[in-house]
Amino acid sequence: MFKPLSMQRIELSLLKEDAPHAALLLANYGSFDPEISEILPEQFPELPGEAYRLEYSETRTHLDKILAHYEIDVPETVDAPMQTVTPQQLTETGVWLKSVWGKCSEVQEGIHRLSEEHRHASQLLRALEQFSDINIDLTLLQKKSSLLDVRIGTLPRTNIRRFEEALALAGFIAIEFSTSEEQINVVIAGPAGQTQEIERILQAAGWRTMEIPAEFHGSPDEVRRELSENLARLSEQQAQENARRLAEPSKENLRERLLDAAHILSRAAPYAELAGLMRGRGALASMSGWIPVKQLPQLKKMLATSFGDRFVLLVRDPRADERLRVPSAIQHPGWLQPFASLVLNYGVPRYGEIDPTILFAITFVLMFGMMFGDVGHGATIAFAGIMLRRRLGQYSTLAITIGLSSTVFGLLYGSVFGFEHLLPALWISPLSDPMRMLGVALAWGVAFILLSGMLTIRNRIADGRMREALLDSHGAAGLLLYLGLLSAGWQYADSGRTGMAPLLAVCAALAIMFVHSWQQNRELATGERLLIAAIEGYEASMTYISNTLSFLRLAAFSLNHVALSVAVFTVANMLQSTGYWVTVVLGNIFILGLEGAIVGIQTLRLEYYEGFSRFFGGDGRKFRPLRLGNKLVASG
């Protein structure tokens, strides 16, 4: 729970014909994270299953598109999970799905066409209102003339000026008579005999010829009615097409056949995924990846049961140079999941690094409670977490725990919905002794940073970076500097003087960091090297001090909480009984919503910036075991 599971790298070599079965076995096993085979391409030059992978990828694409088209959800469980999918079976499924998608695509095209017609008809209807603005007889637009070429149509709005200028070069004029956000209606006129030239411009401009109803000139109302009827008919057709689309799967067992295909592809997925990573030669195939050490005996047993002695399994520990490539498998109990999500939001722990989830959970809950201590508010948050557990999912636990923490601190502070006199404070009312609160917050910050520093040293040692663990500003030297600064500060605050020991510690730490930085920047010019080494020591000192002071916000927000409550009650006291209670209730809702959110963000900020940024690399690789599944295999 405190660090990712110990992993081992395996190289499984077996007969090529057994590879699909092995892929299914490993997917059902659920603890194998595949990686590209370490065998040299010269030794195993072939890519067995490449054709299978491509076939799967294309088939999967078609299935996904069909399922989206028919709005069918696929169950997460997979039928007959150990039944292999042969290349022939995959091809047959692919051919069938391609033909189904062909039909779906035609339907989509039809729906799209209806939608375009609808858009066009709507625009025509809008344009109708402005036809009267044109000062010419529109029936002329439909008459062919040997001298005059007149056309009416729509264009995209963009580039209309250039269109008019280009037409002018060909001796044409353009009259705009109706515009919308996207389109513009235009009448163009010019000398006949330049059909080809004009049509090329129209084509490039995205011209769409407008059909003028024959009776337009005579009775616009009739045209309006006809267009409205046309629109209604198109809407009805669209609705019918959509209803037909959704009803289609119930015909000829299409839904069942599609679900069968989905199961087939789910079983084909592991081999398709492995195919992109494994190598082969002749009748042999080799696949590689990572498994948790504790799962190795089970894997050996499964392989022996399935393949007898027809396989070779090579196992080795991770090398120091591949630490970043080793996946981090982290297991947490259910109640820690929301905290784990927040940790993963920052990054995945490196392999071998401390998993900070438990520490994060404890400190997050405590810091939130300290900043937002109120029995009433805490109980409300916890109660909301319980009542909304379905909607909040895993975050319900987070709400409950921070709510309880807030309640406990509320008891310590003696605060209930901002009322400071209903309960006696078990420890201290924040506003009664702000200095004490600030002192506690500072002490918490010191403890937090010291713990972070120790974790940093531990992680660097585990990472094989011993020099950095000892000499860096975030390593032991940094910790010595911090302890020296703390001790000096304490002595000065206590007696107005500083002893020799803390000063020596500070100087020694700075000297160590200087030498470390000097040696690390060998390639730089002497002046620049000197500057960097000097600034690093100064920066480390300032960072430690500012990071510690950053924790004063723990006290500041607890004081702020009381101050906000005082403000609410001050306003409430100015009103009569109804107004008083309305103000108290609204004020508490305001505090709960706004201050609660701010405190949550501040707590997260302290965790991420003052904690994680010191000791947590967060650049690990998440353990992603091979599984049966409904997912696409990346090409290439």
Partner 1 sequence: MISARYAYLQTRISLYAGQLLGLGQLNALIDRPYEADTRNAAGTNALEQYSVELDQNNVNILLQELAVLMRPLSGAPRELLNYWAHRFELGNLKAIIRGKMSNQPRSAIEEKLQDMGEFTSLPLNELLQSDTPAELLRRLEQTPYIDIARQARQLLEQGEALFALDAALDRRYYAGLARRGATIDKSSGDMLRTLTGNIVDRVNLVWLLRYRFAYNMSPAQAYYLLIPSSHRLLPQQMQQLAQCASFAEAIDKLPAPFDKILAGVRDTTEVTLKLEQENWRVANNILRSSSFNIARALAYMMLRERDLRRLRAIVSGRSMHLGAAEIRSALGLAGNGVANV
> Site residues (CB under 8 A) for partner 1?
54, 58, 61-62, 65, 98, 101-102, 105, 108-109, 112, 156, 158-159, 161-163, 165-167, 169-170, 197-198, 200-201, 203-206, 208, 635-636
Identify which of residues 144 and 161 has a Cβ nearer to partner 1 in the complex: 161
Q: How far is the CB of 94 from partner 1 (least distance, A)?
A: 12
584-591: long-range pairs with CB below 8 Å, 24+: 584/417, 584/418, 587/418, 588/376, 588/377, 588/417, 588/418, 591/377, 591/418, 591/561, 591/564, 591/565
Identify residue 195 by its one-letter amino acid code. Answer: T
Please report which helix (H) or strand (E) contains residue 436, including its range: helix 434-462
C-beta of 186: minimal distance to partner 1 in Å?
A: 14
Contact 368, 361 (CB under 8 A): no
HEC profile for 98-144? HHHHHHHHHHHHHHHHHHHHHHHHHHHHHHHHHHCCCCCCHHHHHCC
CA distances from 50 to 10, 47, 125, 274, 276 (A): 22, 6, 56, 10, 7
Distance separating alpha carbons of residues 361 and 368, to the nearest angstrom = 11
The answer to whether 511 and 408 are in contact (CB under 8 A) is no
Output the smallest distance, CB 192 to partner 1, in A.
15
Provide DSSP, 489-504: HHHHHHHS---HHHHH
Distance of closest approach, residue 105 Cβ to partner 1, in angstroms: 5
Tell me the C-alpha distance between 119 and 97, whole Å: 32
Residue 603: both structure tokens together: 């707590």
In whole angstroms, the minimum distance from the beta carbon of 622 to partner 1 comes to: 20
Q: DSSP assignment, residue 464?
A: T
What is the closest distance, in whole angstroms, from the C-beta atom of residue 197 to partner 1 in the complex? 5
Q: Give every strand in the sheet of 183-191, ordered side by side.
A: 173-179, 183-191, 148-156, 208-209
Residues 6+ away with beta carbon under 8 Å from 341: 394, 395
* Min CB(328)–partner 1 separation in Å: 25
Greatest alpha-carbon pair distance for the chain in Å reads 110
Query: Looking at beta carbons only, is 143 or 161 nearer to partner 1?
Result: 161
C-beta of 252: minimal distance to partner 1 in Å? 22
How far apart are CB 200 and partner 1 at their closest, in Å? Answer: 5
CB of 635 to partner 1, least distance (A): 7
Nearer to partner 1, 107 or 462 (CB): 107
CA distance 327 to 344: 14
CB 452 within 8 A of CB 614: yes
Closer residue to partner 1 (CB): 162 or 436: 162
Q: Which is nearer to partner 1, 170 or 284 (CB)?
A: 170
The length of the chain, given as a count of residues: 636
Of the pair 166, 462, the CB lying nearest partner 1 is at 166
Q: Which is nearer to partner 1, 202 or 481 (CB)?
A: 202
Integer Cα distance of 570 and 238 in angstroms: 61
Cβ 191 to partner 1, closest distance in Å?
13
Please state the φ and ψ torsions of residue 212, each to the nearest 5 degrees: -95, 120
Nearer to partner 1, 164 or 226 (CB): 164
Tell me the three state secondary structure of residue 227.
helix
If the CB atoms of residues 38 and 116 are measured against partner 1, the closer one turns out to be 116
Q: In the complex, what is the shortest distance from the CB of residue 123 to partner 1, in angstroms, rounded to a whole number?
A: 13
Q: Give CA–CA dist 420/410, Å, rounded.
A: 10
- Of the pair 169, 320, the CB lying nearest partner 1 is at 169
Identity of the residue, 174 or 264, whose beta carbon is nearer to partner 1 in the bound complex? 174
List of residues 6+ apart from 330 with CB closer than 8 A: 4, 5, 340, 349, 355, 357, 623
Output 146 or 203, the one with its CB closest to partner 1.
Answer: 203
Using the minimum distance from each CB to partner 1, give the nearer residue, 129 or 182. 182
How far apart, in whole angstroms, are the C-alpha atoms of residue 608 and residue 600? 12
Residue with tokens 């391409």: 41
Residue 510's nearest CA partner among 539, 489, 490 is 539
**Distance of alpha carbon 200 from alpha carbon 208, whole angstroms:** 13
Do 149 and 89 contact (CB within 8 A), yes or no? no
In angstroms, give the least distance from the CB of 96 to partner 1. Answer: 14
Name the residue nearer to partner 1 (CB basis): 54 or 302: 54
**Whose Cβ is closer to partner 1: residue 200's or residue 301's?**
200
Q: How far is the CB of 76 from partner 1 (least distance, A)?
A: 23
Residue 244 CB, nearest approach to partner 1 (Å):
18
The CA distance from 482 to 477, in Å, is: 9
Distance CA(566)–CA(372), nearest Å, equals 15
